[in-house]
Amino acid sequence: MLKKERQSFILHQVNLHNKVLSVDLSQQMAVSEDTIRRDLNEMAKQGKLIKAHGGALSKSFHLSIASDHVYALNSKKRIATKACRLIKDGMFVLTSGGTTIIELAKSLPPELTATFITVSLPAAYEYIHHPNIEVIFIGDKISKNSQISIGGSVVSRIKGIRADLCFLGTNAIDIKNGITDNDWEVVEVKKAMIESSDRIASLSITEKLNTAQRIKVCDLNCIHTLVTELDPEHETLQPYKATGIEII
C-alpha cells in the first residue's frame, strides 16, 4: 500500500471512530508500527489529526463546541432529527458523548419539557441553552479523548438513576459483536447507562455499521432502537431489523 493510500485510510478511520490505535492500523494495513508512527507524526504536523500515546485522535472531534467541521455532519444532523421523535414530554433521558449526541442536543424542539442527564460537557453546554428542559450533569474526572466524565463515582451515580430513555453515541456496531468501543472507561460509563434505562437507542452513521472495536459495550439485543441517516427499509439495515430491533 502506497503512503498516500495508507494516510487516506488512517484519516478515514480516525474521523470515523474518533480514536485509533497504532497496533490496530498496523494489523489492518499489514505494515509495521514504525511505519504507522511515521505516518501519524507526519499527519499531525500537517494538522490532519492529533497524535496521542499509542495512536491518534480526530481533530474534528476536538474542535470548539460551535464548530460545524465534524465528520459526516449532515448524516448526524439527520440522525438527530429522527432521534428527537423518541422523546416525550416528562421523560428522564440519559445521553452519552460524541458528535451525534451534540447534534441531538442542538435539535431538541423548543417546546419540549424533559430532564436530560449527561456526562458529556459539550452536550451539557447545548442543553443549558434550551428554554424548557432540566439539565443534570454528572461530573468527575474528564476524559480528554471523549470529553465525558469517567470513573467509579460517575458509574455509581448513573446506577442510582432510573431513566426512561438512553441515547448512546455509538463507535462501532455489528450483528455478531453488538456495540463495541475502544476506551475502557467510556465503556464502563455506557454499561451503567444501559443498566439504568428502560429503553436504549443507538445513534450511528451508516459507516459504523458492520464494524467492531476491541471492547464490548453490550450485545445487540440490549438495544431497542437503531437510528441511522438511512431510510428504515434500506437493505443495509435489514439484518438489524431481522433481530427485532426497531429501525428509524
In this predicted model, what pLDDT tens digit does every residue of 204-233 receive, in sequence order? Answer: 999 999 999 999 999 999 999 999 999 999
Q: How many residues does the chain have?
A: 248
Whether CATH 1.10.10.10 fits 3-62? yes
Mean pLDDT computed over 175-183: 96
Q: What is the DSSP string of 182-238?
A: S-HHHHHHHHHHHHTEEEEEEE--GGGBT---SEEEE-GGG-SEEE-SS-TT-GGGH
Residue boundaries of the structural domains of the chain: 3-62, 73-247
Between 67-71, 136-140, 151-155, 213-217, the lowest mean confidence (pLDDT) is in 67-71
pTM of the complete model: 0.89
Model pLDDT, residue 60: 63
Residue 61's pLDDT band (cuts 50, 70, 90): low
In this predicted model, what pLDDT tens digit does every residue of 114-134 receive, in sequence order? Answer: 999 999 999 999 999 999 999
End-to-end CA distance of the chain: give it in Å, rounded.
38
Angstrom distance (rounded) from CA 228 to CA 205: 5
Mean pLDDT computed over 151-166: 97
Instruction: Report which DSSP code applies to 120.
Output: B
Mean pLDDT computed over every residue of the chain: 94
- 64, pLDDT greater than 80: no
We find that the CATH architecture of domain 73-247 is: 3-Layer(aba) Sandwich (3.40)
Whether 3-62 shares its CATH topology with 73-247 is answered no
